[in-house]
Amino acid sequence: MTDISDHAEAGVYHKQGFGTPLPVQGKVGLLIIDFVVGFADPEVFGGGNIGPAIARTVDALALARRNGWPVAHSRIVYAGDGSDSNVFSVKVPGMASLTENNPNSAIVPELTPENGELVVRKTVPSAFFGTQLAPWLTERAVQTLLVAGAVTSGCVRASVVDAMSYGFRPLVLADCVGDRAIAPHEANLFDMQQKYAAVMPLADAIAAIEEA
């Protein structure tokens, strides 16, 4: 993650009051966004640091399961007949290929959901838009939402902004999110930390949760 001190504009952010810490509070949940086969494959939608982020998320998922935290996953799933084509699939036509039975739309085997974990299907970047994710988390009293997934600059960012808008406290696990290019990954981690979320590696998040 790029530290604010590395930015020429750091003084502007500090002066205007951005980057206030967002401590862990209340019950913790985990959201894993679009870690599917197609996003793990550099020949499809992957590349960059997505592979290492998936590997690190294996540890985050194991931690959540050991602690009994609510866990939700998301997938991009379009109708096979194109009936739900939208602006997202017009802008990125390949997204429409992620249909229910396309292997590229399946969650990667190492993060296969277990019984009781929510899987939401979506056709837009945010895992919250038009899904049951927010009420599901609310029913389980989640306040702090750990976020992993792909890509940092797209579906992760959109979901973090919506999580904050719904009143959850997003905590982006910096080593559990990835992007097909590193520059947008780092820029969006920086920006989310300043405006919408706490951002830290999994090890630091564990320490913060234990302290809370």
Contacts of 9 (CB under 8 A, 6+ apart): none
Is residue 176 part of the annotated active site? The answer reads no
- pLDDT the model gives residue 116: 97
At 25, the amino acid letter reads Q
pLDDT band (50, 70, 90) for residue 3: low
Please check whether residue 60 lies inside any domain of the structure. Answer: yes
**Arithmetic mean of pLDDT, 13-42:** 95
Q: Which residues constitute the domain of residue 43?
A: 25-75+106-211
* C-alpha dihedral sign at 159, 18, 14, 204: negative
Helix (H), strand (E) at residue 3: none
Is the model's pLDDT at 146 over the cut of 70? yes
- pLDDT the model gives residue 14: 84
- pLDDT the model gives residue 57: 98
pLDDT band (50, 70, 90) for residue 13: confident
- pLDDT the model gives residue 4: 46
Domain count, the chain: 1
- Rounded to a whole number of angstroms, the CA Rg of the chain reads 17
Please check whether residue 19 lies inside any domain of the structure. Answer: no
Q: What does the H/E/C string look like for 71-119?
A: EEEEEECECCCCCCCCHHHHHCHHHHHCECCCHHHCECHHHCCCCCCEE
Please check whether residue 12 lies inside any domain of the structure. Answer: no
pLDDT band (50, 70, 90) for residue 8: low
pLDDT tens-digit series, residues 161-172: 999 999 999 999
Please check whether residue 14 lies inside any domain of the structure. Answer: no
Please check whether residue 112 lies inside any domain of the structure. Answer: yes
Mean pLDDT of the chain: 95
Residue 136 sits in a domain whose CATH number is 3.40.50.850
**Arithmetic mean of pLDDT, 28-51:** 97
**Arithmetic mean of pLDDT, 17-39:** 96
**Residue pointed to by tokens 């750091």:** 10
> Which residues in the chain belong to E strands, given as ranges?
27-33, 71-76, 118-122, 142-150, 169-178, 198-200
**Arithmetic mean of pLDDT, 125-134:** 98
Please check whether residue 193 lies inside any domain of the structure. Answer: yes
Please check whether residue 156 lies inside any domain of the structure. Answer: yes
One of 155, 172, 176, 205 is an active-site residue; which one? 155
